[in-house]
Amino acid sequence: MATEPPRAPVPTAVTAPPPAAGAERRRLEVASLSAYYGSAEIVRGVSITFRDREVTAIIGPSGCGKSTLLRCLNRMHETVPTAHVAGSVSLDGRDIYAKGVNAIEVRRHIGMVFQRPTPFPTMSIRDNVAAGLQILGRDKPSRAETDHIVEDALRRTALWDEVSNRLKDSAIGLSGGQQQRLCIARALATRPAVLLLDEPTASLDPISTQKVEELVYELRRDMTVVIVTHNMQQAARVSDRTAFMLMGELVEIAATNTLFTTPSDSRTEAYITGRFG
Amino acid sequence: MTDINAPRGPASPPKPAVRTARPSVMQRAAAERTQTTIGRRRVVNVVMVGVTFGAAILATLPLIFILGHLIVAGASSINVDFFTQIPKPPGEAGGGMANAMVGTLVLILAASAFGLPIGIGAGLYLAENRGTHLANAVRFLSDVLNGLPSIVMGIFAWQFLVKPMAKFTALAGGIALGAMMIPLVTRTTEEMIRIVPVSLREAALALGYSRWRTSLVVVLRTALPGIVTGALVAVSRIAGETAPLLFTVLGNQFWSASLREPIAALPLQIFNFAISPYDQQHALAWAGALVLIGIVLIISLAARFATRSRFGLGGD
């Protein structure tokens, strides 16, 4: 990014320097991952690679495990009682489930945005965006740096013009679409390597949805994006590659164009043509 | 109106054309029955509304009566001296309860310093560890503690604080009152934290917040207005407690704000003056009661105000 502001050194325990430019830059590699709630296996042995500077969409019917898979990618899955995971997820070659890797550290490098906007109601708009920076301890940016990062994050989410004159107001006063973009800005402020979006437009109106989609499309320029969506049109619009999941299994993953025009699996074809799901 | 009260059932909708104009005997009987039923329902309705209205009035009557009487009996003794002077020796005119008000303030502060951190911490634990055996046990015991008669708390504090120290102290009273605050604060804290949406907690975790930081910075702060309300309600409840103070702080006719000395308190002063043989002290007791109610009223209003915060989830 050309207008990158002076950036506070973020701990780089997990992010290794980017690999040399190759044909395919692997960022996040999932290997035979299974996720459970108690004894129920929600995700069944999924292996999938998310490439750098690409948007990967995960589609599938309700309950197919796509959100659970997403939550395994930044170790949010394990925050639910009885939930556990088998298999591995590697960020730039390092297994985030390896012993000694701190889940909190992982989440600082793999950001996440949820279905419903979740601004912190006690914080102002500015403090919401800066929330992820306040916890960096010794690497916490100065006030001026923070202001700069906040502005940058808000500009990237096209919110700056809408909120620049009320940064000190409560984030609750924003509309639903603005709140969701604020949450994306909050996730971007810590400069994660990967951004996970769990049906980010499910609760938004069409215009807000369009804004978020444009934003997702832009984000690919400097990060890995994984987006879970119900909406196949959305997957077709924003993603480079699309994965189709069914009953906890990954059915196929292909370039979005290919998957929607000439899927190799008959179940994918049945789903995208609306015969079930 | 007319539609609802019109006879229904077999006799009701006039089916034009086919039906004859005059209703049959059966139809008239049905209509009559319907009318009687509706009439009876109306009467029952009026009576029940009247009964609940009466109950509502009766519920507020004690407060109105008490306030009225206190104003009649005590307002005349409320003057500048009352708020600035310490009590005069028995039989002398004038004097006030300034030291008792200071004492009550000191006791409230001491009780809050002891009761609030424990209560809020316990509430946070209960909310974050729901369903565990320990949480269930703590919740149950805290409810039992809530129902504990205050005189029992007083005896307990006397046995374990006053007796070992061989001295009545404000500190012992503060701890006894603080212990009474704990269950109330614990339960309101738990309730308030439980209404903070899980999604907020997840959002904080996903940003890389640790669990304790999520609890403290996001969850507790979001629930804060409700917790403040709970704390103020607890304070207003202990402000008027007398029984635990009888055993712990003893009372004091002179200025004292020290935690290590016996201290005066409004409820105690009221008690002592009320049982004295002097009319002039009786009047002061009434005035003291009026001031005490005023303080509780102000705290209650503050509690209501605290819930109308700009940020965060409200209490009620």
Give residue-wise pLDDT tens across range A77-133. Answer: 999 889 999 999 999 989 999 999 999 999 999 999 999 999 999 999 999 999 999
Nearest chain B Cα distance for residue A161, angstroms: 23
Give the ipTM.
0.86
Residues of A whose CB is below 8 A from B313: 121
Q: Rounded to an integer, what distance in angstroms lies between the CA atom of residue A43 and that of residue A214?
A: 30
What are the 10-residue block averages of pLDDT along chain B, 316 residues in total? 51 55 82 85 94 95 92 89 88 85 94 96 91 92 92 92 91 94 95 92 94 90 90 91 90 86 92 90 91 90 72 41
Residues of B whose CB is below 8 A from A153: none
Residue A42 dihedral angles phi and psi, to the nearest 5°: -90, -40
Q: Using an 8 Å Cβ cutoff, are B205 and A107 in contact? A: yes
In this complex, is the C-beta atom of B20 within 8 Å of any C-beta atom belonging to chain A? no
Beta bridge partners of A31: A88
Nearest chain A Cα distance for residue B199, angstroms: 7
Selected for mutation to probe chain B from A78, A122, A140, A203 (highest B CB count within 10 Å) is A122
Cβ of B311 within 8 Å of Cβ of A116? The answer is no
Nearest by CB: B206 against A107, A116, A135:
A107
- For chain B positions 198-217, those within 8 Å of chain A (CB to CB) are 199-200, 202-210, 213
Q: What is the pLDDT of residue B258?
A: 87
Residue B175 dihedral angles phi and psi, to the nearest 5°: -70, -40
Q: Which two tokens stand for residue B83?
A: 């708020």
Q: Contacts from B32-40 at CB under 8 Å and sequence distance 24+? A: B34/B7, B34/B8, B34/B9, B35/B7, B38/B5
In this complex, is the C-beta atom of A183 within 8 Å of any C-beta atom belonging to chain B? yes
Cβ of B203 within 8 Å of Cβ of A76? The answer is no
Q: Which two tokens stand for residue B12?
A: 């009701």
In this complex, is the C-beta atom of A203 within 8 Å of any C-beta atom belonging to chain B? no
Residues of A whose CB is below 8 A from B199: 114, 116, 118
In this complex, is the C-beta atom of B195 within 8 Å of any C-beta atom belonging to chain A? no
Q: What is the pLDDT of residue A19?
A: 44
Element (H, E) at A249: strand A249-255
Q: Which CATH number fits domain A26-118+191-272: 3.40.190.10, 3.40.50.20, 3.40.50.300, 3.20.20.80?
A: 3.40.50.300
What residue spans define the domains of chain A?
Answer: 26-118+191-272
Nearest chain A Cα distance for residue B114, angstroms: 27
Nearest chain B Cα distance for residue A226, angstroms: 15
pLDDT tens, residue order, chain A (277 aa):
444 455 444 444 444 444 444 445 778 999 999 999 999 999 999 999 999 999 999 999 999 999 999 999 999 999 988 999 999 999 998 999 999 999 999 999 999 999 999 999 999 999 999 999 988 878 889 999 999 999 999 999 989 999 999 999 999 999 999 999 999 999 999 999 999 999 999 988 999 999 999 999 899 998 999 999 989 999 999 999 999 999 999 999 999 999 999 999 999 999 999 887 5
Q: Rounded to an integer, what distance in angstroms lies between the CA atom of residue B83 and that of residue B228?
A: 28
Cβ of A107 within 8 Å of Cβ of B200? The answer is no
Nearest by CB: B208 against A104, A121, A183:
A104
Cβ of B207 within 8 Å of Cβ of A111? The answer is yes
Pairing of strands A224-228, A55-59: parallel
Nearest chain A Cα distance for residue B178, angstroms: 29
Closest C-alpha among B48, B80, B110 to residue B238: B110
Q: What is the pLDDT of residue B96?
A: 87
Cβ of B206 within 8 Å of Cβ of A183? The answer is no
In this complex, is the C-beta atom of A111 within 8 Å of any C-beta atom belonging to chain B? yes
CATH number for the region B80-307 comes to 1.10.3720.10
Q: Using an 8 Å Cβ cutoff, are B59 and B51 in contact? A: no
Q: Rounded to an integer, what distance in angstroms lies between the CA atom of residue A230 and that of residue A277?
A: 10
Classify residue A166 by its DSSP letter: G
Exposure of B85 in the CB half-sphere (CA atoms within 13 A): 14
Residues of B whose CB is below 8 A from A118: 197, 199-200, 202-203
Nearest by CB: A120 against B202, B206, B218:
B218
Q: What is the pLDDT of residue B22?
A: 78
In this complex, is the C-beta atom of A132 within 8 Å of any C-beta atom belonging to chain B? yes
Residues of A whose CB is below 8 A from B193: none
Selected for mutation to probe chain B from A118, A172, A199 (highest B CB count within 10 Å) is A118
Q: Rounded to an integer, what distance in angstroms lies between the CA atom of residue B106 and that of residue B259?
A: 8
Nearest by CB: A132 against B199, B207, B224:
B207
pTM of whole model > 0.90?
Answer: no
Q: Rounded to an integer, what distance in angstroms lies between the CA atom of residue A30 and that of residue A213?
A: 25
Q: What is the pLDDT of residue B16?
A: 55
Q: Rounded to an integer, what distance in angstroms lies between the CA atom of residue A172 and that of residue A117?
A: 10
Nearest CA in chain A to B197: A118
Q: Using an 8 Å Cβ cutoff, are B97 and B82 in contact? A: yes
- For chain A positions 62-81, those within 8 Å of chain B (CB to CB) are 74, 76, 79
Nearest by CB: B206 against A74, A116, A123:
A74
Nearest by CB: A114 against B203, B209, B224:
B203
Nearest chain A Cα distance for residue B310, angstroms: 8
Nearest CA in chain B to A107: B208
Q: What is the pLDDT of residue A190?
A: 92
Cβ of B208 within 8 Å of Cβ of A121? The answer is no
Q: What is the pLDDT of residue B1?
A: 45
